[in-house]
Structure 1
């Protein structure tokens, strides 16, 4: 998914149907590129997306570049929600037409299931495909508000994007300012915007832990993921349970894992051993979090409803 040449500020899109060879590029204004809050926003969003797409062996290097074909967005949304967004065969396709189909399916899911509508003042599918910084970042922040991004995102971030069009009559440029994050999420006079995955929607401020730092180094995530999966399977093998992906770790497996590690017997009437509905899975996850809280484990950053 990532651009082998690395991050680029100016990216061109050629429309094969445009006989005038109309070329449009989007570039982050130098003042925005050097803004510390913009850099922090990019880092937080990149880390968040990477923590999920790594499960599909993908890595984000530039969230603006890598969102354009819909594949990364489809993987991210599928992992974080548990919903199949795109048929795997379609996801593996690489033609321009298939990329457009994938992005259309992703946008339809976002609008229908997450109730986030396209807004020309924030993001559009066309803007995502054209690698417009404003569209890409506005969409990710909107997703963060709905899905619960656990990473610190600074408030009141605006960016200036330069749109450059090469026309037969000459070059036309236009600068547009996008308000990416607002001040309504501010936690206090000096607080930073923290979009936490708490079920009550309240934001929680916290210091980055070892895993936050880990997710800022994508090259190490896969190794740690495999180690965690190996540990999980080693504990559950006595119950004839084996998982091949951390994204499949539902509440029931957490309950069994906690019981195994703590040598705790959990009465069957407290949870659903074979949950068949989303509600049952969420109840299991909440019960598992309750067990963890009873063991003095901090669960304030975990949402029972995200990922089930």
Structure 2
């Protein structure tokens, strides 16, 4: 398959990458619907500001719309310049706005994230959509996004002066319920609804599995519901299972606030995905709120992968 690479992408530095939507994906009705719904949501939120988004790449790349959107959604003022014309000023503003967004979403400052200053400022629609979807889900936007919107993305890389490309599938949305949560019914729904005795057996097995690892550093858990809600044990557990030390500056060892706990849980999810595990079928917020079913799903995912790890 031949791919037309826009002229801008010939300006890559060696080993630099750039991604773009494969042209055929623009015809995907789910992508069109997702863009329309997200633009309508942004325009509804920003109606009091008299801001109207007409084109998702052209209107969101400089940070101004994201700046106003985050202020409206959080009822907090960001300390950034209102209007910036220069590229340097726009990127400085974007950096502040994205740091605020990442903090709200409970993401690590150090990444990797599905969006960045460079990707958004270069009008990368994939990065822009990922951020909008994340904000819409986090703030429980009253919208129904199309499920399983998966597009083809062309990734161009310059190596030894030559442009190379590969095509990957990128999931913009998964499966959601009415609250924006991923919603495949699974074994834990059945256990909670119909088999409380079996549920207790599963809980005991998971406690044994977890303590087998945590005992190595003289720690132990007894209550799965409350002892994982700050994310500390999840981060330590991933390090033990994968055989590395999680740097203490990557997470809060004694988190006090909801935001610090959310950061920890999100960091542990990133470590899981770095290890090749699927994205957990739980939201970090649900773990922090001591939702037992969500906690069990995450731990069981680790159990199935690492149950034979000594």
- TM-score, scaled relative to structure 2: 0.49
Greater share of residues in helix: 2
